[in-house]
């Protein structure tokens, strides 16, 4: 599959591009300043546009197909195209051509991505991971992409691997999780349970976990304690703590953890409190300040972070770092492979 970025100005963050590359694997990537009627795909093609180039690309493709350009969801789309918000699919020369408008998130992509292996590596930097991975991959001529994601752990994307190779990876790097980390939690945590006390993430962690089947096997519920009053009334965070240290503090997150473990009777808890912005920051606690904690009945750990980006991206980083902390805290790594 080919990916074509059309346009001169790209204002989206590198993290958004990384998210796109995690969604699809490309044999070829091109960057084009312009797009014209001579376009003729030689493979299934994903055309990535921005606000400036999307209308032009949609019109040109409509002209190539000799069809009308219509409006759907306030966007121009070739008539008879398969459409979802910020994404449409047409067929040109028997190849699928998927045009997407990349703004603040990656829209639905119609072209079915090829199968890939996702390997999550914890407690290790990129250079050290390469030292362990390359002796396994290089002799077999296995290509891979290695990135550090928003949660502070590593992701490797490569072709599907045989069980033998996966076992070699586990022997070399015990801090490994194969596949989607939320599905991994659902599969390996039961019969133990996890719960969440969320403030600035507004229920994002619970919402993301419960997108996957089987979540009820390890998750009974959690609380969104957005205001100080609810932190106090529901979780028992003391008024003295809130007054002295503030809602966004290590002390408050510790009490949130203890409170949510008490009311849920879960084995593990993740708690988050921070300033997602765009307002609410101070000199001492600027926008992006987030405290994240994880605990069980015996231990408790809290981290302080200063995230960059807009509100949604700060919330996403908080969630992913919370999951990283939990997997490390619980040592919930892959133990074996099929």
Same domain for 163 and 54, yes or no, is no
The pLDDT tens digits of the residues spanning 2-49 come to 999 998 776 666 778 888 888 887 788 898 988 999 999 989 999 999
Whether residue 1 contacts residue 25, with contact meaning beta carbons closer than 8 Å, is answered with yes
235-254 as b/e: b if 16+ CB within 10 A:
bebeeebbeeeebbbebbbb
Residue whose structure tokens are 């390890």: 218
- What pLDDT score does 12 carry? 65
Phi, psi of 309 (to 5 degrees): 120, -175
**Range 194-211 average pLDDT:** 96
**What does DSSP assign to residue 308?**
-
Give the chain's radius of gyration (CA, Å). 23
Residue holding tokens 């306030």? 74
Structure token pair of residue 242: 């809130």
**pLDDT at res. 24:** 83
Mean pLDDT across 264-288: 96
Cα–Cα–Cα angle for 226, 228, 231, nearest 5°?
Answer: 75
Percentage of the chain surpassing pLDDT 90?
73
Assigned domain for 173 exists: yes
Among 129, 153, 179, residue at a domain's last position: 179
Q: What is the pLDDT of residues 283-323, one digit of tens each?
A: 999 999 999 999 999 999 999 999 988 888 899 899 999 99
Per-residue pLDDT tens for 91-108? Answer: 998 889 999 999 888 888
284 touches 306 (CB < 8 A) = no
Q: Are residues 204 and 160 in the same domain?
A: no
- Phi, psi (5° rounding) for residue 243? -70, -40
Residue 76 sits in the same domain as residue 133: no
Q: For residue 309, what pLDDT is reported?
A: 81
Q: Which residues of 176-199 are buried (b: 16+ CB within 10 A; e: fewer)?
A: bbbeebbbbbbbbbeeebbbbbbb
Shared domain for 219 and 168, answered yes or no, is no
pLDDT (0 to 100) of residue 144 = 86
Average of per-residue pLDDT across 185-210 = 97
Read off the pLDDT of each residue in 121-146 and give the average, rounded to a whole number: 95
pLDDT of residue 114: 67
Range of the domain at 10: 2-101
At residue 207, the 3 state secondary structure works out as helix
Residues 6+ apart with CB under 8 A from 180: 118, 212
Instruction: Using pLDDT thresholds of 50, 70 and 90, give the confidence band for residue 244.
Output: very high
- Nearest 10 degrees: CA dihedral of 194, 227, 321, 326? -20
Residue 119: its pLDDT value, please? 96
Query: Measured between alpha carbons, how far apart are the two ends of the chain, in Å?
Result: 29
Residue 173 has pLDDT above 80, yes or no: yes
- Domain final residue pick, 158, 179, 200: 179
Cα dihedral 196, 201, 207, 209 sign: negative
Which DSSP string corresponds to 214-263?
TGGGT----EE--SHHHHHHHH---HHHHHHH-SSSHHHHHHHHHHHHHH
Q: Are residues 160 and 196 in the same domain?
A: no
Longest alpha-carbon distance in the chain? 70
Q: What pLDDT is recorded for position 276? A: 96
pLDDT, the chain, mean: 93
Q: Residues 86, 123: one domain?
A: no
Overall number of domains in the chain: 3
Q: 234 and 316 share a domain? A: yes
User: Are 318 and 240 in the same domain?
Assistant: yes
- Asked, for residue 107, whether it belongs to a domain, the answer is no
User: Which pLDDT score is estimated for 322?
Assistant: 98
**Which whole number is the average pLDDT over 137-151?**
90
Same domain, residue pair 50 and 81: yes
Same domain, 219 and 317: yes
Q: Examine residue 175 and state whether it is found in any structural domain, yes or no.
A: yes
Compute the average pLDDT of residues 137-161. 90
- Kindly state whether residues 206 and 326 are assigned to the same domain: yes
Q: Is the pLDDT of residue 250 over 80?
A: yes
What does the block give as tokens for 44?
A: 């299934």
**193 lies in the same domain as 324:** yes
Per-residue pLDDT, 11: 66
């Amino acid at each position: 599959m080919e990916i074509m970025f059309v346009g001169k100005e790209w204002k989206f963050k590198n993290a958004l591009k990384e998210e796109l590359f995690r969604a699809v694997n490309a044999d070829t990537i091109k960057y084009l300043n312009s797009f014209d009627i001579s376009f003729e795909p030689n493979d299934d093609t994903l055309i990535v546009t921005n606000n400036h180039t999307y209308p032009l690309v949609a019109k040109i493709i409509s002209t190539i197909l000799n069809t009308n350009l219509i409006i759907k969801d306030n966007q121009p789309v070739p008539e008879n195209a398969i459409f979802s918000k910020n994404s449409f699919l047409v067929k040109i020369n028997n190849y699928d051509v998927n045009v997407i408008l990349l703004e603040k998130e990656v829209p639905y992509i119609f072209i079915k991505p090829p199968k890939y292996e996702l390997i999550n590596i914890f407690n290790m930097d990129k250079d050290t991971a390469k030292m362990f991975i390359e002796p396994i991959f290089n002799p077999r001529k296995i290509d891979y992409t290695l990135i550090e994601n928003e949660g502070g752990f590593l992701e490797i994307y490569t072709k599907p691997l045989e069980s033998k190779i996966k076992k070699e990876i586990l022997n070399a790097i015990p801090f490994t999780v194969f596949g989607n980390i939320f599905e991994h939690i659902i599969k390996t945590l039961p019969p133990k349970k996890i719960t969440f006390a969320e403030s600035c993430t507004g229920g994002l962690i619970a919402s993301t976990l419960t997108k996957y089947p089987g979540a009820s096997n390890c998750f009974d519920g959690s609380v969104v304690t957005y205001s100080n009053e609810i932190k106090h009334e529901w979780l028992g965070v003391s008024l003295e703590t809130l007054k002295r240290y503030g809602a966004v503090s290590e002390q408050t997150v510790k009490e949130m953890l203890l409170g949510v473990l008490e009311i849920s009777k879960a084995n593990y808890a993740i708690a988050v409190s921070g300033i997602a912005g765009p307002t609410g920051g101070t000199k001492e606690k600027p926008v992006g300040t987030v405290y994240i904690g994880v605990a069980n009945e015996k231990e408790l750990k809290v981290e302080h972070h200063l995230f960059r980006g807009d509100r949604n991206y700060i919330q996403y980083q908080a969630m992913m770092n919370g999951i990283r902390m939990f997997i490390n805290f619980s040592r919930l790594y892959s133990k074996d492979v099929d």
